[in-house]
Chains A and B, each alone.
Chain A
Amino acid sequence: MGRAAAEPDASGPRPTAAARRVRLTFATALRDYGIYFALAGLVAYFSVAVPQFRSAENGLLILLQVSVIGIISIGMTFTILTAGIDLSVGSLLAVAGMLSGIFAQREPTILNVGLALALPIAVGIVGGALNGLVIAWAGVNPLIVTLGTLTAYRGFVVWYRVNPIYDLQPYYRVIGQGALGPVPIPVLILLLMAIAAGVVLNYTRFGRYVYVVGGNRDAARAAGISVPLMTFSVYVISGFCVGLAALIFTSRLMAAQAISGQGFELQAIAAAVVGGASLFGGRGRISNTIVGALIMGVLFNGLVMLNVPAPVQQMAIGVIIIAAVWLDGVLRQRR
């Protein structure tokens, strides 16, 4: 395109260069921070419409409700950034949760407690690594692979233990239901994970390479980056997040169920996508994903308080997701 006009023109129907510049910076601000405005708008609306909404407790409640999906969506952001996707997160959560529950049920010896806490994370990592191995080195499409593992992992956990485990030891409650002062532990974990992930993506070489691999795989290879290794890593990260989320989820529920986690993958993807991540890779930020999750959390919370029936809530959230992505596309065109 041509270079900027040398001097602003006095005559003619054209807007002045200055006016154009103002409009452009506004459009850029809207594109980069639009979801923050949207979140603020939603919070403002519900604060006015529903008095119970406007309290610190409710705020923490929303964060708590969002924490499990939020942690999963952090891992999902990594895979989406590489132009991949992880559909197996819900099923993997059930597997990890079940294995954790088995040991959480037993007498609280050091070994059992240790296993109850560490096993879900280990299972998450292994599940993610399995995805990563096939995607990175067998070169199968991530959508297909994780669709397969979604089914396989679910089948596994149902086969392994179809009946839920309810009688978990009391100590197990702490992770999902405990708090540090006023802040629930899951929220703390979500915050820590978000900060860590954000730091990795923005300030480390590894994080930079994630964007590069997603942005242009051939260019990444031509620059000497090991694309298979990077691809493998993001699925391991996703699995790790799932394991952590499984621990929190099972603890909150105080039950390990084979049917847990159904539909979580779509919610996590929605959070990332509403947050502006591109499914084609190379675009997205952790902070924005968290805001995306919060938008949906706020919507859900607010609509419940307004006594909107559940199916209508779902419709509303569905429309919001579509609108958010459409808007992001529109704002990106206007340069």
Chain B
Amino acid sequence: MQDVTKAFGTTVAVDAVDLDLAAGEVHALVGENGAGKSTLMRVLAGFYADYAGGIIIDGRPVRIGHPRQARALGIALVHQELSLVPELSVAENIFLGREPYSLVPGFISQRAAEAGARALCDGLGISLDPAARVLHLSVAERQLVEIAKGVSANPRVLILDEPTSSLTYQEVRELFRVVRSLASRGRAIVYISHKLDEIFAVADHVTVLRDGRRVATAPAARWTEASLVHAMVGRDLSSLFPRSPADPGPVRLEVRDLGCRAAFRAVSFQVRGGEVVGLYGLIGSGRTALAEALFGLGAADAGEIRVDGRRVTIGSPADAISHGIALTPEDRRRRGLIPMLSLRTNLSLRALPLLCRAGFVDGRRERSEVGRLIDALAIRAASQSVEVSTLSGGTQQKVVIGRWLMAPPRILILDEPTRGIDVGAKAEVHAIIDRLASDGMAVLLVSSELPEILGMSDRILVMRDGELAGEFRRGEVTEEGIMTVAAGVAAAGRPDV
């Protein structure tokens, strides 16, 4: 790709980027959210007819204006948002749009599709039943189907866009094995990600994009984590987990023997004002159910919750809010934001009763309070009236957190606050969390990212199979130590580097 440029309206998403992909190589494309990685690859995959610049395949310049054209040229894109049809089978999904015909014209040969799918999966080392409906598959299995679908067209270039966002350690390692076997068979693989440890595990070459421009390209061996972050963000790594020394105050939240039917049981812990307590657990450990029970989104049926020493019952979010508890949800798009409403409306939502007089909203006060919050959180947006759906993931996350800060709660529960946002925005969110704790808020940080838990928490709680399996102080434990407790076995460690 040479000097490729793509703009949407006034926003230039990709600015004169050069990219060279060689056969048999895994080339990682790295950058913050909004850096242009997905857009660049979508240009290559034919999604945009109106790009500027040139694409040269095997020495021949081509103009790719339609996905079908891209497919014909041997370019396959495996999407970030899975594009499978749940009601159809694995085989049907793999051959979607290219169904093999039977002897009777117009009819699809089920047998040929399933045989083809099985051959494909065997070749990749994936064990899936081609007749199984995608509906019944786990997220990881669906990801593998997506990859099989991409490979089924026998592409020269296979583009994987953030393939591991919903996968666990083991599944990621499986994915890497598949990727490397594909590369060894002569394909060029583009691996888009912002997860640095994965990049080092699987890539041969790394290109960094920032603000739509290519910042640097070099073999993976020549990058270090620090130099990579610096290229992506223009800042240093050290500020990623800015946790100042804690000065814990009185116990704000106390949980005694809390239980919730199947999800968790007999959980007891305390959170003091001014401290950040990290809650870690694998999928199924009950940590999300625990966070939700504390906020009234799920109901605890055993044990007690105490706020500032007083026993409380929390049956709904309204209850939790009245006791000074706030929760930023894991799925910000579904539970947090109202996408078609403005930045101002989303931010002022929680505090609206306080901005009102006799049921009427005080517009001027709202605007000034929202303005204050936007400055404090460094939210980048054209104006207060923009629709939040147009903002980047990192900014959206700040909005979700920011909503609670206008009328600060006493206890803040953050569920995966930096999921899916880039390094730069992560650091900013962490700085905000640190500031809140230093100002005396009791913070419960629920996260599945070990570095985040280790970097930001004053105390760490580990859940396993619905029970509190371990509690550590800051500095007392390593990543492996936590994994051991969380998984109940010796840690698998990072995917092989």
Contact = CB atoms under 8 A, between A and B. Distances in A.
A3 B392 CA distance: 10
B317 A221 contact: yes
- Residue among B9, B297, B339, B350 with the highest chain A CB neighbour number at 10 A: B9
Contacts of A203: 360-361, 363
Given A24-B9, A282-B340, A204 B361 contact: yes
Contact of B35 (A2, A211, A219, A278): A2
Given A23-B9, A335-B9, A222 B352 contact: no
B338 A215 contact: yes
Interface in B381-420: 390, 392, 403
Nearest to B3: A12
Contacts of A221: 316-317
Nearest to B38: A1
Contact of B341 (A4, A206, A215): A215
Interface in B162-209: none
Interface residues of B, number: 47
A1 B8 contact: yes
A223 B403 contact: yes
A159 B350 CA distance: 49
Interface size class of A (residues with CB under 8 A): 35 or more
B318 A224 contact: yes
Most buried by A among B39, B327, B337, B340: B340
A335 B352 CA distance: 29
Listed residue (A23, A24, A224, A283) with the most chain B CB atoms within 10 angstroms of its CB: A224
- Most-contacted residue by chain B among A5, A206, A223 (CB, 10 A): A223
Contacts of B211: 2-3
Contacts of A211: 338, 341, 345
A208 interface: yes
A215 B341 CA distance: 7
Nearest to A3: B211
Contacts of B392: 1
A2 B359 contact: no
B52 A14 contact: yes
Contact of B340 (A1, A220, A222, A283): A283
Contacts of B127: none
A218 B295 CA distance: 14
B353 A205 contact: yes
B161 interface: no
Contacts of B336: 219, 222
A52 interface: no
Interface in B1-60: 5, 7-15, 34-36, 39, 52
Contacts of A13: 52
A4 B360 CA distance: 37
B10 A224 contact: no
Contacts of A106: none
Contact of A218 (B11, B12, B13, B334): B334
Nearest to A281: B340
Contacts of B350: 223-224
B349 interface: yes
Contacts of B424: none
Interface in A1-55: 1-5, 12-14, 17, 20-21, 23-24
Contact of A205 (B11, B34, B316, B352): B352
24 contacts: A1-B11, A2-B34, A5-B15, A14-B5, A24-B9, A205-B352, A205-B356, A206-B359, A212-B338, A212-B345, A215-B340, A216-B335, A219-B334, A219-B335, A219-B338, A219-B349, A221-B317, A222-B317, A222-B336, A223-B403, A278-B340, A282-B338, A282-B339, A283-B340
Q: Which 8 A-B pairs have the closest CB atoms?
A: A215-B338, A2-B212, A5-B12, A2-B13, A216-B338, A20-B10, A224-B318, A224-B321
